[in-house]
Chain A
Amino acid sequence: MARALVNIPKTARRGDVIEIRTLISHEMETGYRPGPNGVLLPRDIITRFTCTYNGVEVFSAELFPAMSANPYLVFTTVASESGTIALTWTGDNGFSQTETATIEVA
């Protein structure tokens, strides 16, 4: 499993705009770089990121070879209710990882 750093507020007031920050360890090999033997290294990137809030998708992004290694994504959503926020990264070679966090909305 890749290592991920996720920053989601643990508590918020209903209606607050909350910021979610994520960093995941991934080489994001572009597919355009030659290896030490001159042969192109096969592409190996994360292609999609989604965030669901109590099962409903609130944010998603497509990722491409020009993204840096260890992609850092920051986005906002509105704190509507207490529950679970799930972040999923999927990509080449069957890459798939989900991190979850709970949020208390008062």
Chain B
Amino acid sequence: MRLPGAAALTLLLASPLGAEIRPDERRSDFHQMSPETRAMQTDDTANPGMLAVLDGEALWRAKAGPAGRSCADCHGDARITMRGVAARYPAWNAARGTPVGLAGQIDICRADRQGISAWPAESRERLAVTAYVAHQSRGMPISPPGDPEMAAARERGGRLFTARMGQLDLACAACHDDNWGKRLGGTPIPQAHPVGYPIYRLEWQAVGSLQRRLRNCLSGVRAEPFPYDAPELIELEAFLMQRAAGLPIETPAVRP
């Protein structure tokens, strides 16, 4: 995120924290993008995120680990078995007693089922397989799971969303609930729905995760970003997915 202008900041700081987005106004940030960027996302031969999806498809079939097993050996045809999965993550992992995100679940499969170490956060492989799995849910409505444990995680995420943070002393909600649709130093403030992750972000010139995006917003308010895979980032994601419930998955989305 670019540094906001002083005038814009004063406005934000002055605005009272309050109203959530009205249900009839809730929509994907896709609709706030320029026609060119929207066209890039919707044309699969122009969307650079599709390169990651294709990489992910190859990795899905690649044998790995001591037993030489691929994701496909256990899960078969991802177009069938992974359909709708991304729409209900983060999910409660009873064995570990924590909520896990989609990439976290893939780490678990690598560790427990393939006997190999997890791919590092933001590595090409982890993003590619996550994009491939999430892409199988494109067009399906976000449907967060009903477990009571997840409700607790979402509540913690919601508290983070409304808590003032960083040297700028701004809450996520100050931008994304109270001032979406306005501009911050030339950039439109989106409603912040996590519908298209991993996304291809033009500013990054690369594919990146929701966690990378959230860490960008955290450093934007000059807060120390939570480390990758920190519980706080998963809780924020769980909250954002609930807040976006019903909106269709767009993976791989393109964002400015």
> Which one of A48-56, A64-72, A78-86, A95-103 is at the B interface?
A64-72
B173 at the interface (CB under 8 A from A): no
A23-B46 CB under 8 A given contacts A68-B205, A69-B205, A69-B206: yes
B111 at the interface (CB under 8 A from A): no
How many residues on A have C-beta within 8 angstroms of the other chain's C-beta atoms? 13
Q: Is A7 an interface residue (CB 8 A)?
A: yes
Tell me which of B47-55, B66-74, B89-97, B177-185 binds A.
B47-55
B123 within 8 A of A: no
Instruction: A6 to B45: give the CA distance in the assembly, Å.
Output: 7
Contact B50 A5 (CB under 8 A): yes
Whether the pair A70, B45 counts as a contact (CB closer than 8 A) is no
Compute how far the CA of A6 lies from the CA of B202 in the bound complex, rounded to whole angstroms.
21
Which A residues are CB-close (under 8 A) to B50?
5, 23
**Min C-beta distance of A30 to chain B, whole Å:** 10
Q: Does any Cβ of B come within 8 Å of A60's Cβ?
A: no
Please give, as numbers and ranges, the residues of chain B lying within 8 Å of A25 by CB-CB distance.
48, 51, 55
- What residues on A are CB-neighbors of B46 within 8 Å? 21, 23, 72
| Cα A50 to Cα B44 with chains together (Å) | 22
Partner of B54, one of A3, A68, A69: A3
Determine the chain B residues whose CB is within 8 A of the CB of A6 once the complex forms: 45
Assess the B205–A7 pair: CB atoms within 8 A: no
Cβ distance A25 to chain B, nearest Cβ, rounded Å: 4
**Are B48 and A72 in contact, CB atoms less than 8 angstroms apart?**
yes
CB distance from A10 to the nearest CB of B (A): 14
Q: What are 6 A-B contacts defined by CB distance under 8 Å?
A: A3-B51, A3-B54, A5-B51, A7-B45, A69-B205, A72-B46
Q: List the 4 closest pairs (A to B, CB-CB), nearest first.
A: A69-B205, A7-B45, A25-B51, A70-B48
Apart from A21-B46, A25-B55, A72-B46, what 20 extra A-B contacts exist at CB < 8 Å? A3-B51, A3-B55, A5-B44, A5-B45, A5-B50, A5-B51, A5-B54, A6-B45, A7-B45, A21-B45, A23-B45, A23-B46, A23-B48, A23-B50, A25-B51, A68-B205, A69-B48, A69-B205, A69-B206, A70-B205
